[in-house]
Chains A and B, each alone.
Chain A
């Protein structure tokens, strides 16, 4: 690990200013992904700003009947929140399908959104990776790509976003709240928060340098049956090959977002009109532009079958 200086921030804007001021500075909250990457020298911050003291760790009701989740609310606390369990079950389920008990106790809401891909070539510093070192190439294309993206990928990158939580938040139309160094705030719809790789896979989100996530807000509950189904190589504590977050209404309509298939949580609103017609029709719309590799073409079938199972479960 490279040496770094360390400070504790006492306000969100001050934290943002500290990162904007110092080249190579980064925020640290739970640290469960950042420290892993620092040990491997994939992340090499020269300065860390500890944001854990910023009191962004509460879940509060919003005036329009939704929830405002502080950036520092831990994954365990969010999954266990009675309002989330009752009204946003898909989010609770997605959180509980991710990582381990120890990691969920540390990992934060904002940090979960910002976690980096687990593409094996991103982790292997002896290999080229456009995400780790822009312009160096992509060893995953033509390499071992079983876990990697089937849709929305580019010639520069076929990495997936590893989060379960973000997939549920995409289905729930969450909004990411941020603050800049000058104190200005903005709200970024989750659909626009994560980016597709294009030819700049190292730029993963809509955040500007120094911009700090302060909260994630959920609109008022939409009802329906909430299901999160994660398919993985072992029964627990593994990243998704494919996951489906669904909110299904009584008339068979609803929302579907996918994990494990793209560089961001994958949702195609137009495909949801097909939900009453079943998984095959919805999957055709979701994965219309899919470009799988030889190794991961199985994910197309797996999405359809997983979605069929989810819709059957929701029907009861």
Chain B
């Protein structure tokens, strides 16, 4: 990219600036509205575990490896692995989609297995080894799965892509390791690398642009080359 002078900013910087402006604009209106709702509603408040004491944020130290590099962090215990990667380590390749384990955009590989990083606390990964999309490959030195997604046009907007790619890499390893799936015909035989298997096994990664057929082509291509 060849931006010059004042225009030299990243897409992320621009989006963060826009979000901050939006938050400032919305805040004065939102606060009184919320107060009124609490006073007027007849509905019971959410369950709070009434006997549980109310706590201030609690900090905890954790050390794990991300893309081969040791990371020492001190985090609010509530911090998910996803937020630790994005907000504390600034590895923004891993995306936050639904934040509830339903979309797969946050998929990373931990100790060799794909997981939803949004549904895992960072402090629970002491001593663990995390691989994100940045650790699979970088521009100029792409992982074969990244290259195949580019070649087969396995995306439109690209937001689900890092999760799709991390998921696909670990998914092919699961087939190699002999893990069966819902569509495996014979449970006692080794699962085969087929399109039906890829579709079933990738169902935890949603693509709202609907690039599924090209994603399957990319995965098939990589699986063929590895075979």
A46/B43 in contact, CB under 8 A: no
Closest to A126 in B: B43
A5/B58 in contact, CB under 8 A: yes
A86/B188 in contact, CB under 8 A: yes
A101/B174 in contact, CB under 8 A: yes
Q: Say which residue of B47, B104, B167, B204 sits within 8 Å of A132 (CB atoms).
A: B47
B178/A80 in contact, CB under 8 A: yes
Task: Assess A236 versus B200: contact at CB under 8 Å? Given A46-B53, A80-B180, A101-B174.
Answer: yes
Q: Would you call B179 an interface residue if the criterion is a C-beta within 8 Å of the partner chain's C-beta atoms?
A: yes
Closest to A6 in B: B77
Find chain A residues with CB under 8 A from B180 CB.
Answer: 79-80, 85, 92, 96
B179/A79 in contact, CB under 8 A: yes
Q: Chain A 14-46, CB within 8 Å of chain B: the 1/0 string?
A: 000000000110001001100110010111111
A5/B100 in contact, CB under 8 A: no
Q: Would you call B44 an interface residue if the criterion is a C-beta within 8 Å of the partner chain's C-beta atoms?
A: yes
Q: Say which residue of A4, A23, A89, A106 sits within 8 Å of B187 (CB atoms).
A: A89
Q: Chain A 128-142, CB within 8 Å of chain B: the 1/0 string?
A: 100011001000000
| Selected interface stretch from B18-26, B107-115, B141-149 | B107-115
Q: Say which residue of A8, A24, A31, A93 sits within 8 Å of B119 (CB atoms).
A: A31
Q: Would you call A59 an interface residue if the criterion is a C-beta within 8 Å of the partner chain's C-beta atoms?
A: no
CA distance A85 to B181 in the complex (A): 11
Total number of residue pairs linking A and B with CB closer than 8 Å = 149
Find chain A residues with CB under 8 A from B80 CB.
Answer: 35
A236/B77 in contact, CB under 8 A: no
Q: Would you call B132 an interface residue if the criterion is a C-beta within 8 Å of the partner chain's C-beta atoms?
A: no
| Selected interface stretch from B64-72, B85-93, B120-128, B208-216 | B120-128
A128/B204 in contact, CB under 8 A: no
Q: Say which residue of B107, B119, B171 sits within 8 Å of A32 (CB atoms).
A: B119
Identify which of B46, B56, B99, B126 gathers the most chain A CB atoms within 10 Å of its CB. B46
B77/A3 in contact, CB under 8 A: yes
Q: Say which residue of B78, B120, B126, B202 sits within 8 Å of A31 (CB atoms).
A: B120
Q: Would you call B17 an interface residue if the criterion is a C-beta within 8 Å of the partner chain's C-beta atoms?
A: no
Q: Would you call B13 an interface residue if the criterion is a C-beta within 8 Å of the partner chain's C-beta atoms?
A: no
Q: Would you call B30 an interface residue if the criterion is a C-beta within 8 Å of the partner chain's C-beta atoms?
A: no
Restricting to A97-135, which residues have a CB under 8 Å from any CB of B?
Answer: 97, 99-103, 105-106, 125-128, 132-133
B187/A85 in contact, CB under 8 A: yes
CA distance A36 to B121 in the complex (A): 11
Closest to B206 in A: A237
Closest 4 CB pairs of A and B: A100-B204, A24-B52, A236-B203, A125-B46
Selected A-B contacts with CB under 8 Å, 20 pairs? A6-B60, A24-B49, A28-B124, A31-B124, A39-B99, A41-B46, A42-B47, A46-B49, A48-B77, A76-B113, A85-B188, A86-B188, A100-B203, A101-B167, A101-B171, A102-B104, A102-B114, A102-B116, A125-B47, A237-B204
Chain A residues close to B by CB (< 8 Å) = 1-6, 8, 23-24, 28, 31-32, 35-36, 39, 41-46, 48, 50, 52, 76, 79-80, 82, 85-86, 89, 92-93, 96-97, 99-103, 105-106, 125-128, 132-133, 136, 235-237
